[in-house]
Amino acid sequence: MKEIGRLARAASHRLALLASTDKDAALSAMRMRLEGGREAILAINARDCAEAELAGQSAALIDRLRITSLRFDEMTGALTAIRELDDPVGTIVVERRRPNGLVIQRRRVPIGVIAVIYESRPNVTVDAAALCLKSGNAVILRGGSESFETNRAIHRCLASGLADSGLTADAVQLVPTTDRDAVAMLLGGLDGAIDLVIPRGGADLIARVKRDARVPVLGHMQGNCHVYIDAAADPAMATAIAVNSKLRRTGICGAAETLLIDVAAEEGLARGVVCALLDGGCEVRGDAQVQLLDSRVRPASDADWTTEFLAPIIAAARVSGVTGAIEHVARHGSGHTESIVTEDLDAAERFLAEVDSAIVLHNASTQFADGGEFGMGAEIGISTDRLHARGPVGVEELTTYKYVVRGSGQTRR
């Protein structure tokens, strides 16, 4: 493991200085090799899936593990999409000329070496490799044990692509063991060889990484997202946004998990939203007042207010206007994404200012919480941490900066 860290550090120094065209050529070569490995990867993945079934893994895990033909196309497509992004490295973010003649530039540079620890989705192997390469970082990948052979097969193609284009394969390394000690060593930082750990997976994985890491971590804990329907909401818009936020896809972190309805909202508005969710196949777990709206509403437990269901289930409460909504989110939210639906601009601005989440929206679905939808291209995740990066983490968020100062002999008085 220490050798992996040493090689990654050495590679990171070379990656930091690469021209955009060289990185883009490597991403193209990686795509070619991945396309070439299609049949082999699908066959190996089928075996991983069969073994996971034999081992009695859950259907949800096996679904995440499985690479369908469509998902394979998405993986190769991601390489193209990331290649086409602007290179963030070298950008001058700020430039100041000081009275003494010094010219001070703040210039984007890569973070260095990033370890990505993830679970069963093998597409993360491709996404993380490509996003780190584009942003000039070396990456050490550690996937889940059930997808180990699939990840190895994908990684072999990516490494061949790097070699084809004359880059070192040390830029993208896969931990060659399923040994759990390897994770502990990554979290220990490999003697200073790792600058950042990014966990991708369930709440247990992320909690463990946050607890044990001796190096900085960028991760999202969970997305307990809220939709608040204000009394002044347009009824049709409120229904459309609530249903889309919850049901478009229930398994993503930007899916709504709690519906808040203003106590002052007319009964037609409140009932319309709740019934649309119920009619759409969603279980609604409501407080006493929400239960009055429809007999299908079940009672909510205390735990429901903080649960990330990732399923067609939503908790629902009546709250005292925008103040009540802000308080409810502050008490139960996870700082991910919250939306207010209202035609009252003052209420909207208060909600946008006072809700302390990575993403706050007015009259739009929480499912827009996504790097692609934000115009950032692909993302490696959505950060609910407060430092370095908040919200979608794309190639720009995978960089840091340095100050470059040019003088003509200045000394300080």
Chain positions contacting its own copies, by CB under 8 A:
13, 16-17, 96, 98, 102, 104, 109, 111-112, 195-196, 216, 218, 234, 237, 240-241, 243-245, 248, 330, 348, 352-354, 356-365, 367-368, 370, 373-375, 385-388, 390-391, 400-413
Nearer to its own copies, 43 or 330 (CB): 330
Residue 327 CB, nearest approach to its own copies (Å) = 10
Nearer to its own copies, 95 or 179 (CB): 95
Spatial separation of the C-alpha atoms in residues 268 and 342, rounded to whole Å: 15
4 versus 393: smaller Cβ distance to its own copies: 393
Residue closer to its own copies by CB (options 258, 384) is: 384
DSSP-derived 3-state class of residue 156: helix
Amino acid (one-letter) located at 402? K
Please report which residue ranges of 55-109 form alpha helices under DSSP H.
59-65, 69-83
**Residue in the structure block whose two tokens are 């299609």:** 38
Return the bridge partners of 116, or none: 141, 198
**Least gap, CB of 239 to its own copies (angstroms):** 10
Asked if 256 and 277 touch (Cβ cutoff 8 Å), the reply is no
- CA 102: distance to chain centroid? 39
* 19: Cβ contacts below 8 Å, ≥ 6 apart: none
Amino acid at 331: R
- Cα–Cα distances in angstroms (integers) from residue 334 to residues 206, 226, 256, in the given order: 14, 10, 12
Minimum CB separation of residue 387 from its own copies in Å reads: 4
Smaller CB separation from its own copies, 120 or 337: 337
Can you list the alpha helix ranges (DSSP code H) found in 85-202?
Answer: 123-134, 148-164, 180-188
Residue (of 350, 356, 309) closest to 336 by Cα position: 356
DSSP-derived letter for residue 217 is B
For residues 331 and 260, give the distance between their C-alpha atoms in angstroms, rounded to a whole number: 13
Rounded least distance, CB 39 to its own copies, Å:
32
Question: Shortest gap between Cβ of 121 and its own copies (angstroms)?
Answer: 20
Q: Minimum distance from CB of 130 to its own copies (Å)? A: 21
Tell the smallest beta-carbon distance from residue 144 to its own copies (Å): 26
Nearest residue (CB) to its own copies, 240 versus 264:
240
Please report how close the Cβ of residue 21 comes to its own copies at its closest, in angstroms.
17
Residues 378/397, Cβ–Cβ less than 8 Å: no
Q: Choose between 2 and 98: whose C-beta lies nearer to its own copies.
A: 98
Q: Find the length of the chain.
A: 413
Considering the complex, state which of residue 31 and residue 200 has its C-beta at the smaller distance from its own copies.
Answer: 200
